[in-house]
Amino acid sequence: MIIYFYLQRSETRTKRHQASAEAYLDEKNISPQLREKYKQMKIDQSSLGEVESAYISAAMMNKIMYDKRQYMKRKKDKDGK
């Protein structure tokens, strides 16, 4: 797991990765409400590569936690019967 996060670290290998985080919001068609929230979080101080990397990492952790919840629920149901 640690190696995965190391490999997903934010690097600006391409011109796209060096673009502003605003460009990432444009790519993802982020709503004006969320854009305002992200601006308050100082997203303008980040690059596209940094924001994309954070998004991917957060999505992966969300998936792991969801799968764990599902596993625990199945285990509880199985043990409870």
Domain range spanning residue 29? 2-80
SS3 label, residue 20: strand
pLDDT the model gives residue 17 = 86
pLDDT tens per residue, range 47-76 = 998 888 888 888 888 999 999 999 999 999
pTM of the model: 0.67
Place of tokens 């982020």: 30
Question: Is residue 42 left, alpha or beta, with left meaning phi > 0 and alpha meaning psi from -120 to 50?
Answer: left
Residue 21 identity: A
**Number of domains comprising the chain:** 1
Under a CB-based contact definition with an 8 Å cutoff, are residues 24 and 52 in contact? yes
Contact of 2 with 29, CB cutoff 8 Å: no
pLDDT value at residue 3? 65
DSSP label at residue 47: B
